[in-house]
Amino acid sequence: MKVPALVGAVELADVVRGGRRFHLTRSSRGTPAVVALSGDSLEFFELDFRAGKLVSRTSTSLERLSLGGVSVERREGGLMVSVGSRELRGEGFLESLETEVYFVVCGGSTCLAAVGDFVDGELKIYDIPRKRLGVKEGVPRAYLGRGLLTILGKEVTFAVSQHGVEVIPGHFKAVASCSSGVYLLDKEGFLVRLYGGVLSVVGKVYPELQASCIDGGIAVADTTGVRLAVGGALTLATRERARRVSSYGDTVVVEHPGGLFRVLKGGSTYVLTSPTLKSCVAVDGGVVCATDEVALLLDPGSAQEVYAKFLSTEASGSRYVELRLGPWYPGCRYSVSPKLVEVVHEVVDRDSLRLLMCPRVPGWEGFVKVDVVCPTHTFSVRELVRSGRVEVKELRYKALFRASTGRLVGTEDSNCYGILELDLESEYPAPVLLKVLVRGVKEPQAELSSAEVKPGLNTLLVKFLGSCSEGEPVHVTLLGSRGEDYWEMLTVGYSPREHVVTDIDVSAEPVVVEEGSRSLLIASGSYIELTCFNGTRFSGYNEVVVSGCREPAVVKVRKEVRAFDRVFEVERARVLSPSREKCLQSFGRVSSGGFYADCSMYVVEADLKALAKVEYSGRYTTALYLGGAKAAEVPLDIPQIVTGFAISYGGALIRLTGRDLMWLVLRTAHGVASWLAGKVYNVNPP
């Protein structure tokens, strides 16, 4: 496909301001022009393509105008014409066609007839006596053509143009005034030419006649199509119906229904069509075509081939998908589909457009389509393209640390910490933004060593923490983005077997060594805290000396365990009652090292079918189950959680024996203890 070469462009923003409509045309001398319409006001602009701007020539209306030293004003019942000091008022008409203006006014014994052009700034006015017209009163019948006004007298026709007045026997309608002669339409529908005072028949024409001058002849359009007459009879140019025809020199522009424009230049023909194209006219210097935004001056004598050439179809390394489009005019637009492919750079180089494109997803392969809409033509191009991949070069380190009963130092309740270190090799030509998604972890928090993957080799460190459950797999997904949407790049899983339990080797009970009336609690590398039934507390690091501690007592062992670059604080606890075993043979006070118990308070007969739990349904309660059925429930007044034979005190897990249940019940509620007296234990409450 070929289109005329671009000569220049003018923006039309000033023309359409305030919602004004405009009409593309040319003056009698072939000057490209635009007429802006607003109500009954007309503003005429010259299109100066050399300077690339609009030049306002005049503003007027058909109610009152002034041109070439002549002013015309509509008055009630007619027109008032002023030419210097002369005034004539009478009946008449005032009309415009394209950039041209025509009027006739008759008053008294004379008529004034005028033909002018707003853009060229010219107006020729002529006196025609009524006597010559043969019309005694009123306004004679008149017809308008291109640069021509015919006034019908009683037996003759006055052909008025900027070149003068011709008197022709008979009645004729105006068609056009050209350099090759005055063209008229007779009563029989024949086109005739007046040249050198001689009338000659050009040919038969039909309704909906339009005409425009060309070198040495005329172009006419009617219901049969478009025909040209150069030095002889009419010859057919196209059979297609024309809405409008314009010409200048040897160039003819035909507007067909549906927004298609045919440009005829010598032996060349161009077909111009586009959704944005509004009109085209032939002017001095070529053809002007306009959209709502811009007017282009084109040279139909110089053809350009429309082309689209992919210089590269792969976005990899330092290269992008590269496409060159031409010719590229002001007002040209393009669109790329699918939206997955983005344009990263565009530049206009002379009369072509260079596009650099890249799929938004690394490793993507598919067809990209580029649709181009220019003021004079449209076309599309489709090509298979691909983008470089982002691949895992090496998995350097992968670990998930979890504490059953501890927490990560610096957090409130996070019990797991994950690390993922890997090398990524990116063949993708642009940085890829990263985001991490962690599944299988409650309230996860994650951080990346880098917010993007750059082209080449990247070492990436991913850290995450939160709350993990035993037996629950964890998955870490890296998401990439080149816009608003993210896509999955890779997923790494941590199976339950891969969890590193940091507190698996932390002892729940310290070593107890009796030294006379004292006991030594030993837990190497740990902090020990002992709380006795009588309120006495003991604490220390590695070991603690205990004396005068009434049973039962709660001992907590807390230890810090390093996990990669973070530290877990692991805490275990249980009930200590080393001397209570002696209550099976005694009913008084018994002791074991630094611990003692008062056997008169209770005699324990453990029933392993008994189960104590702390439950929550708006408040914490202690529930006792016997044989699988709930036997009793009382409010819990201390921060404990009991599950089976286990109690959590201050966040630490305490393992209970059947005898320990008795102590818990006594501390929790006297009512439950009384109930158990007849069911499980022999109780002597204090």
pLDDT band per the 50, 70, 90 thresholds, residue 207? confident
Q: What is the pLDDT of residues 333-367, one digit of tens each?
A: 999 999 989 999 999 988 899 999 999 889 999 99
- With CA atoms as reference, report the closest residue to 110 among 92, 95, 84, 123: 92
CA distances (Å), origin 89, targets 81, 83, 111: 6, 12, 10
| CA-based R_g, the chain, Å | 51
Q: What is the pLDDT of residues 482-509, one digit of tens each?
A: 877 788 888 999 999 898 888 776 665 7
Average pLDDT over residues 267-285: 93
Q: Where are the alpha helices (DSSP H) in 411-508?
A: none
Question: Cα–Cα distance between 145 and 100 in angstroms, integer?
Answer: 10
Q: List the Cα angle 468/474/475 in 5-degree steps.
A: 145
- Hey, what's the torsion of the CAs at 523, 527, 533, 537, to 10 degrees? 120
Residue 226 has what pLDDT?
93
Q: Give the H/E segment covering residue 130.
A: helix 130-133
Q: Give the H/E segment covering residue 665.
A: helix 658-668
Spatial strand order of the sheet with 32-38 comes to 21-26, 32-38, 41-48, 53-61
Q: What is the pLDDT of residues 4-58, one digit of tens each?
A: 999 999 999 888 877 788 999 999 999 999 998 887 788 999 999 999 999 988 8
Q: What is the pLDDT of residues 153-178, one digit of tens each?
A: 999 999 999 999 999 999 999 999 99
Question: Cα–Cα distance between 431 and 452 in angstroms, integer?
Answer: 6
Neighbours of 166 (CB within 10 A): 18
Assign residue 250 a region: left if phi > 0, alpha if psi is -120 to 50, beta otherwise? alpha
* Res. 575: pLDDT tops 50: yes
* 306-387 against 511-599: fold identical: yes
* Res. 663: pLDDT tops 50: no
Across the chain, what does the average pLDDT equal? 85
Neighbours of 539 (CB within 10 A): 13
Name the β-bridge partners of 116: 101, 123
* Domain residue extents for the chain: 63-171, 306-387, 391-501, 511-599, 605-683
CA 633 to chain centre: 61
Token pair of 396 as six digits: 């350097």
Question: Cα–Cα distance between 298 and 131 in angstroms, integer?
Answer: 50
Residue 614 has what pLDDT?
56
Long-range contacts of 337-340 (CB under 8 A, 24+ apart): 337/368, 337/369, 337/371, 338/366, 338/368, 340/364, 340/366
Q: Is 89 helix (H, G, I), strand (E, B) or coil?
A: strand
Average pLDDT over residues 613-617: 57
**CA diameter of the chain:** 157
Half-sphere exposure of 211 (CA within 13 A, CB side): 27
Sign of the alpha-carbon dihedral angle for 309, 484, 449, 491 = negative
Q: What is the pLDDT of residues 286-308, one digit of tens each?
A: 999 999 999 999 999 999 999 99
| CATH class of the structural domain 511-599 | mainly beta
pLDDT band per the 50, 70, 90 thresholds, residue 626? low
Topology, domain 306-387:
Immunoglobulin-like (2.60.40)
Assign residue 370 a region: left if phi > 0, alpha if psi is -120 to 50, beta otherwise? beta
Question: Cα–Cα distance between 278 and 580 in angstroms, integer?
Answer: 104
Q: Which residues of 34-62 are buried (b: 16+ CB within 10 A; e: fewer)?
A: bbbeeeeebbbbbbebeeeebeebeebee
| CATH class of the structural domain 391-501 | mainly beta
* Res. 376: pLDDT tops 60: yes
Question: Cα–Cα distance between 549 and 536 in angstroms, integer?
Answer: 6
Question: Cα–Cα distance between 51 and 8 in angstroms, integer?
Answer: 9
DSSP label of 619: S
Assign residue 154 a region: left if phi > 0, alpha if psi is -120 to 50, beta otherwise? alpha
Question: Cα–Cα distance between 597 and 363 in angstroms, integer?
Answer: 74
- With CA atoms as reference, report the closest residue to 592 among 576, 605, 579: 579
* Res. 664: pLDDT tops 70: no
Spatial strand order of the sheet with 456-467 comes to 442-448, 456-467, 416-426, 390-402, 499-501
Helix, strand, coil content of the chain in percent (nearest 5): 5, 65, 30
Q: Where are the alpha helices (DSSP H) in 353-439?
A: none
Q: Give the H/E segment covering residue 131.
A: helix 130-133
β-pairing verdict for 251-256 and 260-265: antiparallel
Question: Cα–Cα distance between 145 and 213 in angstroms, integer?
Answer: 11
Question: Cα–Cα distance between 52 and 496 in angstroms, integer?
Answer: 73
Question: Cα–Cα distance between 549 and 370 in angstroms, integer?
Answer: 86
